Amino acid sequence: MHSEKPISSKEKPLRRAWTARICAASFLITVGLLLFWIRDHQKRATENSAATQTRMTQSADHASDAPLRRTGSARATSRAMPEGIVTTHEPEQLKDFFLIECSGHNVSIHKALKLLDEAYHDACFFSLEKPLEIKYSVEGESDKLISFSIKGKKWTSALEYIAALAGMEVKHEGLIVRLVPIEVEDRKKSVVKIPESISETLLQELIDRGDWDTQAEKPDNATLLRLHGLVGNAKITDSVPSGFIMIKGTNLDTAALTALVRMEEEQPKMYVHSQIITSPSALELPQGTLTQEAALQWVQDIMQPNGTQLISAPGATTASGKTSVNEIKEGEGNDWTGMQITSTTQPIGLKLSSEILTEIRPVDQTRENQQSEERFVMYDGDTQIRAIGHDSGGYYYQMTSLKNVPQMGREEFARETVGQIEQPVANSVPGKPGFVFSPYTNQIIDVIDIPQGTLVADPNFPAQEKKFFRVP
């Protein structure tokens, strides 16, 4: 039988030393391998991140993605990204291109142009338009700091107004925009009408900037124009009738004011019309946007099956950015049946955009209430159809059309008679066609181009306290 030789007392310390060395070496090797793995993993992660970033950059720079890149500020980020096909426009269409918002306070003309270009890209982003590469140049030096707040105005008008504030005028050469100093002409007297909307806007801008105490007496138009730098060395006097001022100065003194009044006169109005379709079975909806003729043909086709119904809400003519409510209701307070459609519409880019909240409460108690909040973006006169929801009784759809109301003259629109709605009728302002007294505050409200009998929201009340009246 084999037996191991006992370890002598001299060999024990030596063996312990070798064992310690082996353990230490193993530990160092393990740590080295771990560090190598960590560094290799970090390197791979960095390379993957760089590759991902490169792919993202390449995707963003791809021509088809260009319209979806925003260079604008965060002021428009609360808007939902629209769905649809990106379209293109030509340089000559910029004269009809509407911005969402553009503002600056005590900025140079170069900074102002940058803000304007960002506002243009914002409008392209939210109207699904591919932006043009516009180049701006300023001839001569202008150290004047300007302030402006522009909402829902055309790009060309905003550009001319910003230039005039800096004492310049605009020269267009395709996609190249040149700003050159205004050539000064002789002083002359002129009478200028200041729309009430301009006075209210200018005062609100001062209040928002903290430059006017809300408890102070409302300033006159001459003071407002001075505080906003809208006139230079011109002499200003209020004249009769109210709302007019007399100015004596050069064209340079009055350039900004002239541009502001012209821009305000372009205030657009839109007509919004929604129809609700109920069907016992699901309908195949057309893709994208329809022309008026195609929409009518589609309605005729779907009305063939038994049980399909079309309910038309009263249309609404509304100013840009204003909220209107159209309804067909039975009942009082919150205990009602029927439908209510709340819409806020404005032009963006070359299209019209409307955010619409729809609520339907069927008379049939076996059917469920339906709510839908949608944003429609389409060209003037077109129609879009969206699904609202369904219940045990069938399916609900909404067909919405948006249309510009011509600035000159009144366009006639078919209006449905709405019963069961008792809203006050406003009184006309004597001698001022197109203006009425609010039934609630007795303040004057502009209802120009809004058809008689239309239900409109009183602009003097916030959204949560909205009150409505009918146009006489």
Q: What is the pLDDT of residues 146-194, one digit of tens each?
A: 999 999 999 999 999 999 999 999 999 889 999 999 998 888 887 777 8
Residue 302 DSSP label: H
pTM of the model: 0.67
Percentage of the chain exceeding pLDDT 90: 30
Q: Could you read off the pLDDT of 103-124 as tens digits, one per residue?
A: 998 999 999 999 999 999 999 9
Question: Average pLDDT of the chain?
Answer: 78
3-state class of 20 per DSSP? Answer: helix
CB-count exposure of residue 152 (10 Å: 0-12, 13-18, 19+):
middle
**pLDDT band for position 34 (cuts 50, 70, 90):** low
Q: Could you read off the pLDDT of 276-312 as tens digits, one per residue?
A: 999 999 999 998 889 888 888 888 888 776 788 888 7
Out of 65-69, 132-136, 209-213, the most confident range is 132-136
Phi, psi of 17 (to 5 degrees): -65, -45
Q: How far is residue 23's CA from residue 281's CA, in Å, rounded to a whole number?
A: 78
Instruction: Provide the pLDDT for residue 109.
Output: 94
**pLDDT band for position 236 (cuts 50, 70, 90):** confident
User: Which residue type does 461 have?
Assistant: F
Residue 220 DSSP label: P
Q: Which residues of 207-233 are buried (b: 16+ CB within 10 A; e: fewer)?
A: eeeeebeeeeeebebbbbbebbebbee
**pLDDT band for position 222 (cuts 50, 70, 90):** confident
Instruction: Provide the pLDDT for residue 31.
Output: 54
At 362, list the tokens. Answer: 């069927």
**pLDDT band for position 373 (cuts 50, 70, 90):** very high
Instruction: Provide the pLDDT for residue 192.
Output: 79
**pLDDT band for position 223 (cuts 50, 70, 90):** confident
Contact indicator for 358, 388 with CB cutoff of 8 Å: yes
Whether the per-residue pLDDT at 463 is higher than 70: the answer is: no
Q: Could you read off the pLDDT of 415-446 as tens digits, one per residue?
A: 233 333 467 888 887 777 888 888 887 777 87
24 or 186, which is more confident? 186
Phi, psi of 144 (to 5 degrees): -75, 130
Whether the per-residue pLDDT at 2 is higher than 50: the answer is: no
86 or 453, which is more confident? 86
Q: Could you read off the pLDDT of 324-364 as tens digits, one per residue?
A: 888 888 888 888 998 899 999 999 999 999 999 999 998 88
H or E segment to which residue 135 belongs: strand 135-138
228 or 12, which is more confident? 228
CB-count exposure of residue 82 (10 Å: 0-12, 13-18, 19+):
middle
Q: What is the mean pLDDT of residues 262-270?
A: 84
Pairing of strands 87-88, 129-130: parallel
Whether the per-residue pLDDT at 214 is higher than 70: the answer is: yes
Contact indicator for 425, 437 with CB cutoff of 8 Å: no
CA torsion sign, 270 to 323 to 292 to 155? positive
222 or 355, which is more confident? 355
For the chain, list the domains and their CATH numbers. Answer: 67-181 (3.55.50.10), 188-264 (3.30.1370), 269-407 (no CATH), 423-472 (no CATH)
Instruction: Provide the pLDDT for residue 26.
Output: 61
Q: What is the mean pLDDT of residues 201-222?
A: 84
Instruction: Provide the pLDDT for residue 120.
Output: 96
Q: Can you name the residues that pair with 356 across neighbouring β-strands? A: 343, 374
User: Which residue type does 41 have?
Assistant: H
**pLDDT band for position 37 (cuts 50, 70, 90):** low
